[in-house]
Each structure stands twice: as structure tokens, then as C-alpha cells.
Amino acid sequence: MKVAIMGAGLAGLSCALTLEKNGISPTVFESRSQVGDRFVNSEIILSALCRPHRDPLAYLADTYGIFLHPVGHISELLLFSEHEKAVVNGQLGFSTIRGRDADSWEKQLARQVKSEIVFNSRHAYEDLLEEYTHVVVATGDGAYAEKMQNYQTDLTVTIKGATLEGSFNRYAVAAWLDSRYAPQGYSYFIPYSEHEANLSVAFPDYPQNENVDADQLWQHLHETVRRDLGQELKITDSFSITGYAIGLCNYPRLGNTFFTGNCFGAIMPFLGFGQYPAILTGIYAALDLCGKGRYEDLTRPLRKSYQNALALRRSLEKLDNKGLDLVVKALNTKAAERLFHSRFDFLKGAGMLLRALPEQ
């Protein structure tokens, strides 16, 4: 068996690691000159959105021998709407660092991988298919799957983010459900050390948002956070992304090709979380290649999570700031906090409920 993996990101490297542990040495093809050669940003994983797994990092370590450390354990989540605020405390999940930083998750994975990684690769999928018995597409977008008419884009998103310098509690993250900062989207503040944090706005590219200026929204949010924290919050780096696709492939495997990570449909449309599903799809593709499961079956729960998260997103998008105030108010209760810490699959529950409601 000769396996080619296109993309040395979360899905591709997790796939390579799992194959190695099972005695198969794949070749990884990466278009950039090194792993994680892109802007630095911080991201989060909320354990409540990874059910049935209670602790996603412990699960990866104990079950698959994949070891990743976060930059912070989230013990406080602050949620803001126009007039309400919710505070959720406890062991809520992890913050991670991505991109060029030496501790980024892709770099942590690359340090564990022994297989060859071919950098600056210009190999097209079609070339690899000729030379290898199996190809794992892990390019971080749905482009190849779409080309093969195997991907449905549900929305695209504009994201504007920057790194801020200041004095932060690295265990507390904040998010805004407030159309003044992100119409039909969300904004977030994730520290990745005591001195650096990521502030971002993300909103969908719907026709009604055509004239929305991401820079202006971001500046408005920056001013609010500066005022609230009473700090200068100097910008040291920034990034802008347009047309970031969120979608799902129709078939996770076509012949000897596996679609993993964002090519599979890892990004949960609600809040855009995709790191954990991306890693799982990489592992699951490898398990199939090793004869330890069928990729289609293993990824079925992730497809359901995607659909549930999409239903949740579509419902939230219908709410104006008054409606979002009600959501945030409801989250500022002991019952909501208990939900975060319970085994309850929040996405599944919300998705089932919302899809059962009549369309408005």
C-alpha cells in the first residue's frame, strides 16, 4: 500500500501519525515551505461541543497516542450581547495556537511524525492518484471535493483578526453575539499568553452583508475591548480572510480517495470550530486504511454534528440583538452552566429540537 497525504495540517498529520502507529509510512505533500507557515492566531476547543468525548485531548492521547498541549485551559467563558452578559466557569476546554508559532498544533503534530514531508509541493491530486494506491485529501478547504462535485458549500465567511499586546488572563475567553460587531456572526477574544491575545470578527458573506466593512467592525470591537479592559492593546499582527468556506462533502470516501479535515466538512457551522473534527477525520481515514473500521461509518457522527450545528446557526442568524440578549441571558444561569459540564450532547439536542420546529 502506497499512501499520499495532501496537506500537512491537523487532518493530514493526524492521519500520518495514525498510519505510522499501524506500520504504514505515508508520504505527506505540503504546498508551503514548512508546516504552519501562515499567520499566527489562537483558537479554542469547547469540550461541551465535542460530546460524547468529555475531554478531547485526553481522548486523543489515551485512545490514539496523539499528544497535543494547549496554550491555556479555559476556566472562564464570557459571553456578551448588546445588553446582557453571561459568565460560565469551570473546566470548559482549551485554547490553542496555530500557524508559525513553535507551539502551534500543526508544529506539535509535525514533531511526532516520522514519515517524509515533501515541502513546496506542486503535485496535483490527479498526479498523486496515479502514483499512489490511496490519496488522503487534507488541504484545509473543500476545493478538490467541490471540483469532483462531492462538496456542498453552506456559507462562506469573512474573518478579520489581529494580535493584541496587553496584560491578560490566559484562562478566560470572551465572545460577542452582537450584530454591531458581526452581523449574523460572532466576535471573539482569545488570549494565548499573559501578554498576547487574538481579537477577531467573523460574519457570513450573505447579500445583506455585502457592504459590511470588516475593518470597521473590527476597529469598533477593538475600541470597546480597550475601554472595557482599560488598556492600550497595541496591534502587533493582523490577518484577513474572505470567502472561508463552510460545507460538507457528500461522500467521505470516493474509491481510493479520502476527504479529511475541512475537505470532509470539519468546521462546525455554529461558531466555526473545526480543529477537533479535523484531527478525528485524519485518524479515521488512517483506521480505514489499516482495516480497522470504515471511514464512512466512523465519520457518521461528525456529519450529524455538522447538520446539527448548521441548524443551530440558521436559527441564531434569524435573531436580532433583542433575541440574542435573550439567548445570552438564558446562558447566564446555573442550569446552563451545569449543561456545559454534563455529558449532554448540546449540539445533538439543539439540532434535533430546531429541525423538529416548523420553518418560519
Ligand X SMILES: Cc1cc2nc3c(=O)[nH]c(=O)nc-3n(C[C@H](O)[C@H](O)[C@H](O)COP(=O)(O)OP(=O)(O)OC[C@H]3O[C@@H](n4cnc5c(N)ncnc54)[C@H](O)[C@@H]3O)c2cc1C
- Single residue of 3, 4, 11, 174 touching ligand X by CB under 6 A: 11
- Single residue of 15, 43, 247, 316 touching ligand X by CB under 6 A: 43
Q: Can residue 220 be called a binding residue for ligand X (CB under 6 A)?
A: no
For ligand X, the closer of residues 192 and 337 by Cβ is 192
Cβ of residue 360: shortest distance to ligand X, in angstroms?
A: 29
Give the Cα separation of 281 and 292 in Å (integer).
14
Q: Can residue 10 be called a binding residue for ligand X (CB under 6 A)?
A: yes
Q: Can residue 15 be called a binding residue for ligand X (CB under 6 A)?
A: no
b/e string for 22-45 if b means 16 or more Cβ within 10 A?
eebebbbbbbeeebbeebbbbbbb
Q: Can residue 244 be called a binding residue for ligand X (CB under 6 A)?
A: yes
What number of residues does the chain have? 360
Q: According to CB under 6 A, which residues from 107 to 136 bind ligand X?
A: 121
- 202, 185 contact by CB (below 8 A): yes
Q: Which residues, other chains included, contact 213 with Cβ-Cβ below 8 Å and sequence gap of 6+?
A: none
Provide the 3-class DSSP secondary structure of residue 276: helix
Question: Which span sits near ligand X by CB under 6 A: 24-32, 210-218, 285-293, 303-311?
Answer: 24-32
Q: According to CB under 6 A, which residues from 246 to 275 bind ligand X?
A: 261-262, 266-267, 272-275
Cβ of residue 241: shortest distance to ligand X, in angstroms?
A: 6
Question: For ligand X, how many residues bind (rule: CB under 6 A)?
Answer: 33
Give the Cα separation of 197 and 169 in Å (integer).
10
Q: Can residue 140 be called a binding residue for ligand X (CB under 6 A)?
A: yes
Give the Cα separation of 149 and 345 in Å (integer).
32
For ligand X, the closer of residues 204 and 325 by Cβ is 204
φ/ψ bin of 213: left (φ > 0), alpha (ψ from -120 to 50), beta (otherwise): beta
- Single residue of 16, 86, 138, 155 touching ligand X by CB under 6 A: 138
Provide the 3-class DSSP secondary structure of residue 271: coil
Fill in the per-residue mask, 270 to 309: x = in contact with ligand X (CB under 6 A), - = not in contact: --xxxx--x-------------------------------
- 18, 64 contact by CB (below 8 A): yes
Starting at the earlier edge strand, list the strands of the sheet with 41-46. 41-46, 85-98, 72-80, 172-176, 186-191, 196-204, 151-165, 234-249
Bridge partners of residue 98, in order along the sequence: 41
- Single residue of 3, 9, 160, 221 touching ligand X by CB under 6 A: 9
Q: Can residue 241 be called a binding residue for ligand X (CB under 6 A)?
A: yes
- Smallest CA-to-CA distance from 74 within 169, 205, 179, 185 is with 169
Determine if the peptide bond prior to 52 is cis (ω within 30°).
yes
Q: According to CB under 6 A, which residues from 154 to 173 bind ligand X?
A: 159, 161
Q: Can residue 7 be called a binding residue for ligand X (CB under 6 A)?
A: yes
Q: Would you tell me which residues interact with ligand X (CB under 6 A)?
A: 6-12, 29-32, 41, 43-45, 106, 121, 138-140, 159, 161, 241, 244, 261-262, 266-267, 272-275, 278
